[in-house]
Amino acid sequence: MLDDDVTNKKGIYSYVLTHREKYLHIRKFTDSQKRKAFENQKGICKKCAQQFELSEMEADHITPWSKGGKTSNENCQMLCKYCNRLKSNL
Ligand SMILES: [Zn+2]
């Protein structure tokens, strides 16, 4: 329950202390971004092309976060948990 709050506050404190913008970059997609991508894809996983419930899927950065991909609607795709895990293990 406190996860999100604690994480965000920590980011803001770090930003205030260091003035480094990277602490304000949010890696996690919001629920509304996820829902939007989910609806656009009609619940179909971009990798295995099977249909899932929203609760069975995870948001993924099309351009990886580590390569400068933004946490924006345009850069959000939904993968099933299985595919997403495979991808992040590569
Ligand atoms: Zn999949």
CATH number, residue 82: 3.40.1800
Measure 3 CA to ligand 1 centroid, in angstroms: 27
Cα-to-centroid distance, 68 and ligand 1 (Å): 24
CA of 54 to the centre of ligand 1 (A): 12
Query: Ligand 1 centre and the CA of 19: distance in Å?
Result: 39
Percent of the chain at pLDDT > 70 equals 69
Cα of 30 to ligand 1 centre, how many Å?
20
Q: What is the pLDDT of residues 20-53, one digit of tens each?
A: 555 556 889 999 999 999 999 999 999 999 999 9
- Residue 61: beta bridge partners? 76
* Helix extents (H) in the chain: 3-18, 31-40, 81-88
What phi and psi values does residue 24 have, to the nearest 5 degrees? -95, -10
Stated pTM of the model: 0.70
Dist. CA 60 → ligand 1 center (Å): 12
Contact 78, 60 (CB under 8 A): yes
The predicted-structure confidence for 45-63, as pLDDT tens digits, reads as follows: 999 999 999 999 999 999 9
Structural domain total, the chain: 1
Question: Residue 38: which domain range?
Answer: 3-88
